Structure 1
Amino acid sequence: MHASKGDRLVVHGRVVGKQDHVVEIVEVLGPNGTPPFRVRSENGHETIMSPGPDSVVDHRKSTDQV
Structure 2
Amino acid sequence: MKAKIGDRLVCEGQHVGDRQRVGTIIEISHSDGTPPYRVRWSDGHETYVSPGPDAHVQPASGGS
With normalisation by structure 2, the TM-score equals 0.87
In 2, distance between residues paired with 1:19 and 1:43?
13
State the alpha-carbon separation in 1 of the partners of residues 17 and 43 from structure 2: 21
Match of 1:49 in 2: 49
Instruction: State the aligned residue count.
Output: 61
Structure with higher helix content: 1
Unaligned runs of 5+ in 2: none
* 4+ runs deviating over 2 angstroms: none
Which residue does 1:37 correspond to in 2?
37
**In structure 2, C-alpha distance between the alignment counterparts of 1:55 and 1:42, rounded to whole Å:** 15
